[in-house]
Amino acid sequence: MLRGPAPAGLADPRGHGGLVSEILRVNPIACTAHGICGELLPEVIQLDPWGYPIVTAVELTDELLSHARRAVASCPALALVLEKGRT
């Protein structure tokens, strides 16, 4: 029996179909445009001219996922989150 969240890319153990993955999201209200996330994860996050992040990739590979977790942990405004999503 699986406990806790399924690893990225594994089928949903509850049988709801589709794949469970993690999706990077930015809370635009909380974001204060530090730009740290864009520096830590340039493959996925571009910064607009004012320093606000634009998430450009929907799917995160295992390697990018570890970098994404580091970017989430480094966000001083707690505005960057990884959420479970279904592909």
Smallest gap from Cβ 42 to ligand SF4, in A, equals 12
CA dist 30 and 15 (Å) reads 35
DSSP state of 80: E
Q: Name which position in 26, 44, 60, 68 contacts ligand SF4 (CB under 6 A).
A: 26
| Among positions 22, 24, 44, 53, the unique one binding ligand SF4 when judged by CB under 6 A | 53
- Residue 58 near residue 42, CB atoms below 8 Å: no
SS3 state at 19: strand
Does position 33 bind ligand SF4 by CB under 6 A?
yes
Q: Which is nearer to ligand SF4, 6 or 77 (CB)?
A: 77
